[in-house]
């Protein structure tokens, strides 16, 4: 999710119909600059090299989202226009997730560390060594599912990566709170199903319980505290690696 305010100017965006490295290219209506949908960077035009700010967001099943945020505002389905995707309640890309197809443009970089269609949580942070550059690390869903929570350090940042198979998503937080680095572990509910089965985690220092997908402490000494969520992207490996070929890959120790 991007902030469309840039250098004091409010931009509005449309779909260019173009692809670059198998990723949609947007354009802004104010300057006609072309932008990467994946990185938020201006590629061609007056704003080339500029980068849009981001808002932390999560893509998950609607049923699980509304349990976390029951007062959520929802975009109306009845917009007055027909849907180009047919039934709006059905994911038009459902079959694509399980096919061998990897896009209309051949992969630029061959990287066999992961299967091309591996779903992952991708994290890009400013490089601590080179100003203006970003470094990236990816966390495959399968590895996160085995780990549940991952206490990690990347690009000079102490981060926490959480995953919930029932919600179909993973989230990354800064695990430094008020100057103190926290470490987390799973709290499981054997009788629960779906997202409820992976609802909680606890920090090892105080034993406080936290919501795994929102970073909010719900009981214990740290009740009311909230971890800062970092901006991430849910992506396929084949699409992400062409933009960040030097990405580190997290693997859960078996």
The full set of domain ranges for the chain reads 2-54, 56-254
In three-state form (DSSP H/G/I as H, E/B as E, the rest C), the secondary structure along 23-62 is: EEEEEECCCCCEEECCCCEEEECCCCCCECEECCCCCCCH
pTM (whole model) above 0.85? yes
pLDDT single digits (tens) 173-230: 999 999 999 999 998 765 555 555 678 999 999 999 999 999 999 999 999 999 999 9
Per residue in 117-173, pLDDT (tens digit) is 999 999 999 999 988 889 999 999 999 999 989 999 999 999 999 998 888 889 999
What is the dotted CATH code of the domain comprising 56-254? 2.102.10.10
């Amino acid at each position: 999710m991007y902030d469309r305010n840039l250098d004091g100017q409010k931009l509005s965006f449309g779909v260019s119909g173009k692809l670059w490295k198998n990723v949609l290219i947007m354009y802004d209506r104010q300057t006609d600059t072309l932008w990467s949908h994946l990185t938020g960077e201006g590629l061609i035009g007056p704003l080339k090299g500029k980068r849009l700010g981001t808002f932390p967001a999560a893509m998950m099943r609607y049923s699980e989202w509304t349990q976390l945020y029951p007062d959520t505002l929802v975009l109306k389905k009845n917009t007055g226009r027909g849907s180009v995707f047919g039934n709006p309640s059905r994911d038009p890309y459902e079959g694509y997730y399980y096919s061998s197809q990897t896009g209309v443009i051949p992969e630029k970089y061959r990287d066999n560390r992961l299967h091309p269609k591996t779903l992952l949580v991708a994290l890009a942070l400013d490089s601590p060594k080179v100003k203006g550059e970003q470094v990236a690390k990816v966390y495959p869903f399968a590895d996160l599912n085995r780990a549940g929570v991952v206490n990690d350090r990347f690009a000079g940042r102490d981060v926490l990566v959480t995953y919930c198979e029932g919600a179909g998503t993973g989230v990354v937080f800064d695990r430094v709170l008020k100057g103190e680095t926290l470490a987390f572990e799973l709290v499981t509910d054997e009788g629960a199903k779906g997202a409820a089965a992976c609802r909680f985690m606890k920090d090892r220092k105080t034993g406080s319980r936290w919501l795994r997908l929102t970073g909010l402490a719900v009981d214990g000494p740290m009740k009311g505290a909230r971890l800062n969520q970092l901006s991430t992207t849910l992506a396929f490996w084949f699409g992400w690696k062409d933009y960040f070929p030097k990405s580190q890959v997290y693997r859960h120790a078996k």
